[in-house]
Structure 1
Amino acid sequence: MSLPDNSVWTRVEIGLNALAVDPAGLGGLWLRARSGPVRDRVTEALGALPLPLKRLHPSIGDEQLFGGIDLTATLSSGKLVERAGLLAEPAVLVLPMAERTLPGLAARLAGAMDQGTGHCLIALDEGAEPGETLPEALTDRLALHVDLDALPYGETDPIVLEQAALAAARERLPRVRAAGKVLEDLTLLAVRLGVHSLRAPMLALRTARALAAIAGNDEVAVDDLTAAVELVLAPRATQFPESEPEPDQPPDQDPTPPEPDPEKGEQDEGESQSLDDIPLQDILLEAAKATLPADLLAMLAAKRANRGGGGSAGAGAKHKGNRRGRPIPSRRGRLETGARLDVISTLRAAAPWQTIRKQESRFERSLHIRSDDFRIKRFEEKSDRLLIFVVDASGSAAMTRLAEAKGAVEILLAEAYARRDHVALVAFRNEGAELLLPPTRSLVQTKRRLAALPGGGGTPLAAGLKVALEVAIQSKGRGMTPTVALMTDGRANIALDGSANRALAAEDAERMATAIRLQGFPSLVIDMGQRPERSLKALADTLGAPYIPLPRADANRLSSAVSAALDA
């Protein structure tokens, strides 16, 4: 079965048909789409899958997943009564808000799928930011990856899965075979696409077998493999595949082309090679290239480069406690000051021991609870993120890019205000640096200070980094997660002692950059000079930060580059 066209919705329909034939073998579907009528058309078709639908929650507990004690029945009957969990029987597990899935839940679901118990996971990813996505432990096990965020409703149709044809395909599926070299070709193609998981080519082969069963064939055809590549491997690609170079000709081989066979006559060159003579891997590679948007892959590559330097500059760090935030599974603990008892979990922990405790106890009680049974509520919250902008206001920067830098910082400040982030502004010029704006959420005050930022004088880069480090340490002590964003042309010429010594200024800047990295503060470096500066690239390496040279960018492009680096 081949895809009749290259539309996203066509791939969705073909993929759902394959999933309905072999739900456990394909693992499931990662559907990245906001809640709306387009996503509803996909979820409505899930009823045709040959398994019951069960809904999960990203904060679901172990007892709901694996089963546990039925507390009400146990207490009323005086006997231990257990209830089955959602994973007790094979089912289609629908996970809304999948981007919020905790690592523990992802590991449990992945383990249940690896056991071969017949589960199929439908992950509904509603993430708005690039960093909000399904954990890799689950995406690696789901054959189908679909992104419907940019698909208008007018380009969709109701999905109808014919039950009779799908039932016949399920009966035929065990008899469908593939050539021995097919899996090798799929694996090599996955490597060329930058897909390093061994599950991906195996899932592609299972998808091809399901499509062959739908087509009524007992052997996987090239069209089935082509469709499987577009459905499974292409969405996972992290690089655009380059054509393999032609092998060098041996030196003892005659470079003269062979004489044409007179029996073939004047056959046209395009007809001299049949489709069967073309290597399967080349056919699949062309199918993958037709599906891959080159600009998107370029952006993915740029983001990987931005992340290569060191720590992430994303959202605030997570903190666990027992006071406030998003609830997470409770743990055994003591009733100390500030601790909140999880009554239901405590009763569940005590229930299995009631018979023994009643026999051992000298007191007549309806319920025996001990300190080992105590379960303490836990919550998880994210700290506020602080963006510390360190702006070069020296003479060289003022002559080149200070106006664009001001405009870019102003745009970034507005975006930070919309995300409710804190911002701070450090400017360095002449012989030192100044904290123009302490951490704040006031957009009006920030714009006023930025507009009054003068330009001129030397470039005390080390002083700017030192002030940024001090602000970052103070803000971390107040529970924030600081990120340092340095915008400069890189020509440091003023040392920390105020002397005009380029060599000493470079050493001081490197020492301050090392201190920032040792503190674990994420950062990024924007080179806003006319030409990329090698010394600034070395400084970024010392910081463990992404280096972004933007010699001819305006304020909008500068802010876009910084936003992409922060969200990567």
Structure 2
Amino acid sequence: MTPWERVETGLAALAVDPDGLGGLWLRARSSPVRDRVTGALGVIDLPQRRLHPAIGDEQLFGGIDLTATLGTGKVVDRPGLLSTPGLLVLPMAERTSPGLAARLAGALDNNIGHCLIALDEGADPDEALPAALVDRLGVHIDLEALPWGETDPLTYDTDALARARARLPGVTAEAGILQDLTVVAMKLGIDSLRAPMLALRMAKALAAIAGQDIVEVEEVAAAVELVLAPRATRFPQDPPQEPEQDQTPPEPEPQDQDQGDDGEQTLEDLPLQDILLEAAQAALPADLLAQLAAGKANRGASGSTGAGARRKGNRRGRPIPSRRGRMDGQSRVDIISTLRAAAPWQTIRRRSARHEQALYIQTDDIRLRRYEEKSDRLLIFVVDASGSAAMTRLAEAKGAVELLLAEAYARRDHVALVAFRGEGAELLLPPTRSLVQTKRRLAALPGGGGTPLAAGLKLALEVSAQASGRGMTPTIALLTDGRANISLEGTPNRAEAAEDARKMGHALRLNGLPAMVIDMGMRPERSLKALAEIMAAPYIPLPRADANRLSSAVSAVLES
């Protein structure tokens, strides 16, 4: 099948069995091609309901209708979006929080009849739908590399799809097909048991569309293309051949009389697993092969976004559901949620009250507003500016800082630079996002002298503490050759300097600061590797690394 034929077939199967297949993961930014797909969602016979990545529990599961409850004096419930079966359309699905993903996954597992359409608009591979939802959505479609000229308007025969839905409960499959699908999924590197079961549901839906009561090989192969191939994380490999026990060549087996003279094997003669593996390999697009080889195909499993930490606040940020709490003069009271919490108890409270009043609110009814804001990330470079090779290392650090700062505008990162040489350390560049200011501060940077490694780590710890107090998420990148010879007191003592560096490494770890140690010496330094273990930081030896390699290494660690 062509990519667009997979789109047409996947939507048709989803229209026949929306509950069994779970839904659609549509990976595409806003474009006319995506509009063609979303415009055809009406073929799924379910009422459409649009969600938001920041939707709350009350909108999902329902709650008390405050106006009707206060007006009638009785508790009146209001249903939520998940109360009845529906087609749930989730735009900006790559921003879905783990909490919302768990709630939607639970709704899909309850078999109420929901079908989720996740519109993933992530620009980078690490911006993707949470793995909990990726695992439960049977149809995966990626439109990023599909041009407009290779698409056609999506039109479906609604009467034929209705007949297929009526025929679906009677469609059966042989007992061994699910086992074959499981083996194929294992060979493709798929570790979820839901994938082969979804592939079987897909095969039954395709058989129902074809007017069949039994699943044939063609439907199973198409299900592998639609369900298993997009989930593949490795190439299927042939099993290793066993060593020959006997050097005597085996006697040729007699051939059947009806076999052709050329001895070619027909499609019917191949094992089903081989047919399914060939179908899966044919469905892998050319641009995905390199990602599979690099181990990056399973984008949905990635939980790293390279952003700062999320923090709970009480004044600003994105609103999140309110929680019970006490008024402390600083938090804001959520009036509507408080009234909803108090409404069911008004009848009982009026009977036991000594004084008549319109509304009775107790301490347990108080609901406080909550906000979530994503903190800015601060990348602190701690650069060794000592010795004869200081100018080379500083030049590399300058280039790496400028390269990383160029990406900071999109990721809202800040950059700081700490240089240590002589008898101490100096903060050359306070936290900033200004590229102009960075170039000015780095223009004339001196070098030479001893290596006060402990002083550099101590100053980085102080900068991190100040940045955390301002709401940032600091990360430390140490660039050195590891040969510390100046203690914290500023005296030349190699043994004392190494011990001071280890103590500062422990301090960084106790404060929970993420860090990385980049060894830029000509040979890997054992003491520096030991320091990285103390800091619980990755150790990266990069001899003779230029600015581009250094920037790539730092970015890889940040995104891991």
- TM-score under structure 1 normalisation? 0.86
In the alignment, the residues of structure 1 paired with residue 314 and residue 270 of structure 2 have an alpha-carbon distance, to the nearest angstrom, of: 63
In the alignment, the residues of structure 2 paired with residue 64 and residue 482 of structure 1 have an alpha-carbon distance, to the nearest angstrom, of: 36
Which residue does 2:379 correspond to in 1? 387
How far residue 144 of structure 1 moved from its aligned partner, in angstroms, is: 1.9
Q: Which secondary structure does the structure 2 equivalent of 1:228 belong to? A: helix
Which residue does 1:134 correspond to in 2? 129
In the alignment, the residues of structure 2 paired with residue 21 and residue 348 of structure 1 have an alpha-carbon distance, to the nearest angstrom, of: 40
Which residue does 1:237 correspond to in 2? 232
Which residue does 1:91 correspond to in 2? 86
Q: Which secondary structure does the structure 2 equivalent of 1:413 belong to? A: helix
| Distance change (3 Å), C-alpha of 1:69 and 1:259 | closer
How far residue 560 of structure 1 moved from its aligned partner, in angstroms, is: 3.7
Moved more, 10-19 or 394-403: 394-403
Q: Which secondary structure does the structure 2 equivalent of 1:51 belong to? A: coil
The one of 488, 492, 497 aligned to 2:483:
492
Structure 2: gaps of 5 or more residues:
none
In the alignment, the residues of structure 2 paired with residue 229 and residue 263 of structure 1 have an alpha-carbon distance, to the nearest angstrom, of: 31
| Distance change (3 Å), C-alpha of 1:367 and 1:50 | same
**1:451-470 CA distances to partner (integer Å, 9 max, x unpaired)?**
32345556555543343233
The one of 358, 370, 381 aligned to 1:366:
358
In the alignment, the residues of structure 1 paired with residue 203 and residue 318 of structure 2 have an alpha-carbon distance, to the nearest angstrom, of: 42
* Number of residue pairs matched by the alignment: 554
- Given the alignment of the two structures, is residue 409 of structure 1 paired with residue 394 of structure 2, yes or no? no
- Any conservation in 2 of the 1:141–1:199 contact (CA below 8 Å)? yes
Q: Which secondary structure does the structure 1 equivalent of 2:415 belong to? A: strand
Which residue does 2:54 correspond to in 1? 59
| Distance change (3 Å), C-alpha of 1:267 and 1:427 | farther
| Distance change (3 Å), C-alpha of 1:267 and 1:150 | closer
Which residue does 2:469 correspond to in 1? 477
- Any conservation in 1 of the 2:26–2:120 contact (CA below 8 Å)? yes
How far residue 552 of structure 1 moved from its aligned partner, in angstroms, is: 7.4
- Given the alignment of the two structures, is residue 258 of structure 1 paired with residue 258 of structure 2, yes or no? no
- Any conservation in 2 of the 1:400–1:529 contact (CA below 8 Å)? no
Q: Given residue 256 of structure 1, which amino acid in structure 2 is its aligned partner?
A: P
- Given the alignment of the two structures, is residue 109 of structure 1 paired with residue 100 of structure 2, yes or no? no
Q: For 1:102-181, what aligned pairs fall within 5 Å after superposition?
A: 102-181=97-176
How far residue 122 of structure 1 moved from its aligned partner, in angstroms, is: 0.9
How far residue 377 of structure 1 moved from its aligned partner, in angstroms, is: 1.0
Q: For 1:549-568, what aligned pairs fall within 5 Å after superposition?
A: 554-568=546-560
| Distance change (3 Å), C-alpha of 1:231 and 1:445 | same
Which residue does 2:266 correspond to in 1? 274
| Distance change (3 Å), C-alpha of 1:171 and 1:335 | same
How far residue 339 of structure 1 moved from its aligned partner, in angstroms, is: 2.0
How far residue 260 of structure 1 moved from its aligned partner, in angstroms, is: 6.0
The one of 335, 338, 352 aligned to 2:330:
338
How far residue 398 of structure 1 moved from its aligned partner, in angstroms, is: 4.9
Which residue does 1:17 correspond to in 2? 12
| RMSD (Å) for aligned C-alpha atoms | 3.3
- Given the alignment of the two structures, is residue 518 of structure 1 paired with residue 513 of structure 2, yes or no? no
Q: Which secondary structure does the structure 2 equivalent of 1:124 belong to? A: strand
How far residue 432 of structure 1 moved from its aligned partner, in angstroms, is: 4.6
- Any conservation in 1 of the 2:47–2:87 contact (CA below 8 Å)? yes
Moved more, 193-202 or 451-460: 451-460
Q: Given residue 45 of structure 1, which amino acid in structure 2 is its aligned partner?
A: A
| Distance change (3 Å), C-alpha of 1:357 and 1:487 | same
In the alignment, the residues of structure 2 paired with residue 400 and residue 192 of structure 1 have an alpha-carbon distance, to the nearest angstrom, of: 48
Moved more, 420-429 or 40-49: 420-429
How far residue 93 of structure 1 moved from its aligned partner, in angstroms, is: 0.8
Which residue does 2:189 correspond to in 1? 194
- Any conservation in 2 of the 1:303–1:565 contact (CA below 8 Å)? no
- Any conservation in 1 of the 2:405–2:433 contact (CA below 8 Å)? no
How far residue 48 of structure 1 moved from its aligned partner, in angstroms, is: 0.6
- Given the alignment of the two structures, is residue 246 of structure 1 paired with residue 237 of structure 2, yes or no? no
In the alignment, the residues of structure 1 paired with residue 5 and residue 160 of structure 2 have an alpha-carbon distance, to the nearest angstrom, of: 18
Between the aligned residues of both structures, percent identity stands at 69
The one of 433, 439, 456 aligned to 2:431:
439
Moved more, 519-528 or 442-451: 519-528
- TM-score under structure 2 normalisation? 0.87
| Distance change (3 Å), C-alpha of 1:221 and 1:550 | farther
How far residue 567 of structure 1 moved from its aligned partner, in angstroms, is: 3.1
Q: Given residue 40 of structure 2, which amino acid in structure 1 is its aligned partner?
A: A
Q: Given residue 523 of structure 1, which amino acid in structure 2 is its aligned partner?
A: A
Q: Which secondary structure does the structure 2 equivalent of 1:181 belong to? A: helix
| Distance change (3 Å), C-alpha of 1:195 and 1:534 | farther
| Distance change (3 Å), C-alpha of 1:522 and 1:288 | farther
In the alignment, the residues of structure 2 paired with residue 257 and residue 504 of structure 1 have an alpha-carbon distance, to the nearest angstrom, of: 73
The one of 411, 414, 436 aligned to 1:422:
414
In the alignment, the residues of structure 1 paired with residue 281 and residue 157 of structure 2 have an alpha-carbon distance, to the nearest angstrom, of: 31
- Given the alignment of the two structures, is residue 227 of structure 1 paired with residue 222 of structure 2, yes or no? yes
| Distance change (3 Å), C-alpha of 1:550 and 1:181 | farther
Moved more, 457-466 or 178-187: 457-466
- Any conservation in 2 of the 1:495–1:508 contact (CA below 8 Å)? no
Moved more, 556-565 or 208-217: 556-565
Which residue does 1:77 correspond to in 2? 72
- Any conservation in 1 of the 2:342–2:361 contact (CA below 8 Å)? yes
| Distance change (3 Å), C-alpha of 1:537 and 1:240 | farther
How far residue 274 of structure 1 moved from its aligned partner, in angstroms, is: 3.3
- Any conservation in 1 of the 2:378–2:474 contact (CA below 8 Å)? yes
Which residue does 1:206 correspond to in 2? 201
Moved more, 35-44 or 382-391: 35-44
**1:343-400 CA distances to partner (integer Å, 9 max, x unpaired)?**
1111211222222223333433333322322211111112221111123444475586
- Any conservation in 2 of the 1:313–1:522 contact (CA below 8 Å)? no
- Tell which has more relative contact order, 1 or 2 (C-alpha 8 A, sep 6+): 1
How far residue 190 of structure 1 moved from its aligned partner, in angstroms, is: 2.6
- Any conservation in 2 of the 1:333–1:375 contact (CA below 8 Å)? yes
- Any conservation in 2 of the 1:52–1:91 contact (CA below 8 Å)? yes
In the alignment, the residues of structure 1 paired with residue 205 and residue 46 of structure 2 have an alpha-carbon distance, to the nearest angstrom, of: 17
**1:301-359 CA distances to partner (integer Å, 9 max, x unpaired)?**
5999xx9xxx9793221111221111111112222211212111112112222222233
- Given the alignment of the two structures, is residue 39 of structure 1 paired with residue 26 of structure 2, yes or no? no
